[in-house]
Amino acid sequence: MPRIAGTRSSSIELSEIVINTGEAAWTQKDAGCAVAVDTAKVKRGTDSAKFTIGEAAAQGLQAWAASAAADLDLRAWPTAWGFTHIKYWIYSSVATAAGDLKIGMGNDANPTAGGTTEYYVNVPALAATTMTLVRTPLSSNTDIATNLSSVSNVCLWLQTAAWEGVLYIDDIRICRYETHGDSAITIPETQTYGNTLLDKRHVELFYLPWRSAALTVYELPVDAEILPFMGSNVGTWTSSDLAQGCKRLYSGQTAEELGCCATSIAVRTVDDLADPSYTDSDTWTAEFISLEVSE
C-alpha cells in the first residue's frame, strides 16, 4: 500500500520565575568591584544592576543579591520543579571570553557568612557594548541538580582576575523549557536582536528545525505578539531575517492555528507569567506558553 502523507511537528512549552529584577544594587563582596543601579542599560523595569570591576579585583565572588524566589528547588525532577535554564540580560563594556565571568546561586541567604556553597554556570562569550539575552542550561553544572534545594541568593563570580570592565545585568529568571516533536526546537544560549524591536519587552526567540507552514498556540495566559522570521538558513536567526508580520494574540486564546512560513519565531509577552505553585512532583501549577509548529 502507498504511504500516507504526513506532517512533522515540534512543540515547546515555557514556564518561568523571576529571581532578580535588577532594580536594587547588589551587595559588594570584592573591594575591586563597585556596585550600583543604573538606567543606562535596562531591559525590564527602570534599572539594572551595575558592576564596575577594576584591576584590583581578585578571582572570586564579586557581589551578590537576595533571590526573589528563595523556595525554588532546582534539584533533579521529579524531586524538584524541573526547571532547565537560567536566563538574563547582560551588557559588557568590553568583549569577554566564555568563563571569564560566572553567575551562580546558593542555598543560603548570605553567601559571605562562611560555610556556604554556591553553584555557578559560565557566562558565555559576549560581544562588547551589546545587550545580550543569555539562556544557559542548568545542566552545565551537574551539582545544581544534586544540591540546589533553594535559590536564596544570586552571585557574580570573576574567574579571570585580569579582566576589567563595566557590566550591567538585568531581569534574571529561571525557566523550564519542555520540547517535543520530530526535530527539536532550538533554544540558543545567546541572542541579540537587531531588527526585532524587543526593547523593554519580555521575549523568547526560538529556532525552528525546518521552515514551518503553520503555528498553533495551545496555551497563552497573557497577551502576546508572535513574530515569525524567514531566514536563508534553517536553525539560525540574524538581524537580516525578514519579519513575516506580527500576530497579536490575547490571554486565554487556545488552539489558534496561524499560517506561519518561518525559520524562527519571537514571542513577546505583555505581562510576566505567574509564578509556579509547587507541592510535590505530582502537584504543581504554573502559567505556560505552549506552541507547536508544523512543517
At 59-92, the pLDDT tens digits run 999 999 999 999 888 988 777 778 999 999 999 9
Name which of 204, 286, 240, 272 is nearest 15 in CA terms. 286
173's CB contacts (< 8 A; 6+ apart) are: 16, 17, 18, 19, 86, 87, 88
37/39 Cα distance (integer angstroms): 7
* pLDDT at residue 202 tops 90: no
At residue 5 the predicted structure's pLDDT band, cuts being 50, 70 and 90, is: low
Q: Specify which residues 27 forms β-bridges with.
A: 64
Q: Which amino acid is at 32?
A: G
Domain boundaries, the chain: 9-294
Positive/negative CA dihedral, 138, 139, 141, 147: positive
Architecture of domain 9-294: Sandwich (2.60)
φ, ψ for residue 139, nearest 5 deg? -65, -10
pLDDT at 39: 92
At 247-264, the pLDDT tens digits run 888 887 766 678 888 998
The percentage of the chain sitting over the pLDDT mark of 70, rounded to a whole number, equals 91
Tens digit of each residue's pLDDT (9 = 90 or more) over 11-53: 888 989 999 999 999 999 999 999 999 998 888 889 999 999 9
pTM of the model: 0.90
**From its phi and psi, is residue 250 left (phi > 0), alpha (psi between -120 and 50) or beta?**
beta
**Gyration radius of the chain over CA positions:** 20
Strands 242-243 and 277-280, by their bridges, are unpaired
Grid cell 502523507 in the structure block, residue:
5
What is the per-residue pLDDT across 134-193, written as a single tens digit (0 to 9) for each? Answer: 999 999 999 999 999 999 999 999 999 888 999 999 999 999 998 888 788 889 899 876
CA–CA dist 12, 245 (Å, integer) = 21
Contact residues for 6 (Cβ-Cβ < 8 A; gap 6+): none
Q: Sorting pLDDT into bands at 50, 70 and 90, what band is 4?
A: very low
